[in-house]
Structure 1
Amino acid sequence: MTLRARIVVERPAFRLDLDLTVGRGEVVTLLGPNGAGKTTALRALAGLTPLTEGSIELDGVRIDREPAERRPVGVVFQDYLLFPHLSALDNVAFGPRCRGRSKAEARLLARELLDRMGLAEFASVRPRRLSGGQAQRVALARALAVEPRLLLLDEPLAALDAHTRLEIRSELRRRLSGFDGATVLVTHDPLDAMVLADRLVVIENGAVVQEGTPTEIARRPRTDYVARLVGLNLYRGEGDGDRVRVGDLAFAAEEHVTGPAFVAFAPRAVALYRARPDGSPRNLWEGRIDGVERHGDNVRVHVEGPVPVAADVTPAAVAELDLTPGRPIWVSVKAAETHAYPA
């Protein structure tokens, strides 16, 4: 592993306790709600926040006792923090100059990095004349100019508009794939996390609640936050073979589980009926409409009952079923679209 860290930071009413490893060339994303401790962890790695306990090793060498300016770490902040009075070239050359390179050496390295980023023609341009995507690439070049072994990215796409974000997200992934050190990225955006990360570390209330590849996290969420993030209904119950009991309901699922278990299914897998449907659906209960909201091209309906559930239906279905708050409704989910796994 390039990075091995035990990060403990204590503050009044908050404690971050995180074990983190990142391999050479690997991108690990710290994901979690506001206040979870993501940025605190990043600042601790950068040397901007002191550890209460723990250690940080990079390539087998402890760096947590080193001041921030002496750590082999590059940082891209959320708003990039480019020097407004310097050109793109001099912004990138600033780090190497601070590390002892001559002006000529630093500017030569900066030109090479800007060329790699497709920004050679913007070398003399100041930040205010750069687009959001161009500024982000200059900030990334500046971080790489100090030849870091650890690259830290703090919400690197947050300052971009939606159209630019789509383009720069895929471009950033390509740039990161060419970096052979360790990369730690902080975001609260699930799409950024899924596209950019090789591995996700989900933090809630200062502690890791789930870790794995984007596919593993999306398939088997383990907290309500993660379930909402990947767009699933999630319940915790007790498995007894082919069913999982959640309160008064017994969910039939594709998998057989015994003992503490999770049940998950997508809102699109939920069917709603004004009257009890014919036949014998294996997962069926009665609830009441709690709220209705637009969700992409569909409408998300929130239903209260034995378990709260979100259902995605078409606008036509909303009108046909008269899905207004307070109306009784029958809820059905096919067993083939319901998944169970150990808790």
Structure 2
Amino acid sequence: MTLDCRLVVERPRFRLDVALAVAAGEVVALLGPNGAGKTTALRALAGLTPLTAGHIELDGRPLHDLPPEARPIGMVFQDYLLFPHLSALENVAFGPRCRGVPKAEARRVAATWLERVGLAGFAGVRPGRLSGGQAQRVALARALAAGPRLLLLDEPLAALDAHTRLDIRARLRRHLAEFDGATVLVTHDPLDAMALADRLVVIENGAVVQQGPPTEVARHPRTDYVARLVGLNLYRGDGDGHRVRVGEIEFSVAEPLHGAAFVAFPPSAVALFRTRPDGTPRNLWQAEVDGVERHGDNVRVHLTGPIAAAADITPAALAELDLAPGGRVWAAVKATETHAYPA
């Protein structure tokens, strides 16, 4: 592993204790709710927040006792922190200059990086005249120009509008694919994480609660936060073959298992009825409408009752069902769309 660390940071009412390993060329995204410790972990790696305990090793070399400027790390901050009085070229040259590279050589390196990020024509432009996407690319070029072995990205796309974000996300993915060091990315956006990262590490309350490839984490969430992030209803119950009991409800599920189990299904799999449906739907319960909101092209109905659940229906179905908060409905999910896995 290029990066191997255990980050322990203790504060009066918060403790971060996260072990992290990142291979050369790998992009790892740290995800978690506000206050989970993601940015604290990133700042600890950069040396901006001191460790209470633990270690940081990069290419087998201990870094935890080194000051930030002595660590072979490049960092892109959420608001980029470009020097407003310097041109794009001089901003990018700042990284190599801090590593002791002569001024002329640093400018040559900076010019090469500006060309690589598609901004060769903006070398003399100051940050105040750059768009958000251009500023992000200058900040990335500045971080990479110093030749780091570890790249740290703190919400690198958060300041961009939706249209610019799409383009810059694709560009950033290409640049990260060419970087041969380790990359740690902090983001709140699941789309950014899924598009940019090879592996997700989910942090809640200062500890790792789940990690793995994006598709695996999305398919098998293990906490309510992750389930909301990937858009699934998630419950914990007890499995007995093809049935899992969750409180008062016994779910028929596609996968057989025994013991503690998670049950998950998407809101789009939930069908709603004003009266009990004919036939014998496998997974059926009566619920109360807690709220209704627009969700993309559909409507999301929040349900309470034996379990809390979200259901996505069309606006036409909403009108036909005449749903309003406090109304009673029947909810059903097909067994083939109800997935279970060990807890």
Query: Match of 1:69?
Result: 69
Where structure 2 has 5 or more consecutive residues not aligned to the other structure, the ranges are none
Query: Match of 1:285?
Result: 285
| Cα displacement (A) at 1:259 | 0.2
| Cα displacement (A) at 1:257 | 1.1
Q: Please show how residues 185-334 of structure 1 align to structure 2 within 5 Å.
A: 185-334=185-334
Query: Match of 1:179?
Result: 179
Give, in whole Å, the separation in 1 of the partners of 2:31 and 2:141.
24
| Cα displacement (A) at 1:118 | 1.0
The AA in structure 1 aligned to 2:51 is L
1:200 is paired with a residue whose SS is strand
Give 4+ residue runs of structure 1 displaced > 3 Å after superposition: none
Give, in whole Å, the separation in 1 of the partners of 2:55 and 2:299.
48
1:43 is paired with a residue whose SS is helix
1:135-180 residue CA offsets vs partner (Å, 9 max, x unmatched)? 1110000001111000000000011011111111111101100000
1:71-108 residue CA offsets vs partner (Å, 9 max, x unmatched)? 00000000000000000000001121122111101101
Query: Match of 1:134?
Result: 134
2:238 is paired with a residue whose SS is strand
Give, in whole Å, the separation in 1 of the partners of 2:261 and 2:148.
43
Give, in whole Å, the separation in 2 of the partners of 1:148 and 1:83.
20
Q: Return the TM-score normalized by structure 1.
A: 0.99
1:24 is paired with a residue whose SS is coil
1:264 is paired with a residue whose SS is strand
2:85 is paired with a residue whose SS is coil
1:34 is paired with a residue whose SS is coil
Q: Return the TM-score normalized by structure 2.
A: 0.99
Give, in whole Å, the separation in 2 of the partners of 1:96 and 1:175.
19
Query: Match of 1:101?
Result: 101
Give, in whole Å, the separation in 2 of the partners of 1:221 and 1:183.
23
1:170 is paired with a residue whose SS is helix
| Cα displacement (A) at 1:15 | 0.2
Where structure 1 has 5 or more consecutive residues not aligned to the other structure, the ranges are none
1:141 is paired with a residue whose SS is helix
The AA in structure 1 aligned to 2:61 is V
Give, in whole Å, the separation in 2 of the partners of 1:102 and 1:76.
23
The AA in structure 2 aligned to 1:143 is A
Asked if 1:51 is matched to 2:51, the reply is: yes
Q: Percent identity?
A: 76
Give, in whole Å, the separation in 2 of the partners of 1:107 and 1:168.
24
Q: How many residues align?
A: 343
| Cα displacement (A) at 1:290 | 0.7
The AA in structure 1 aligned to 2:75 is V
| Cα displacement (A) at 1:114 | 0.6
2:93 is paired with a residue whose SS is helix
| Cα displacement (A) at 1:297 | 0.4
Give, in whole Å, the separation in 1 of the partners of 2:169 and 2:196.
7
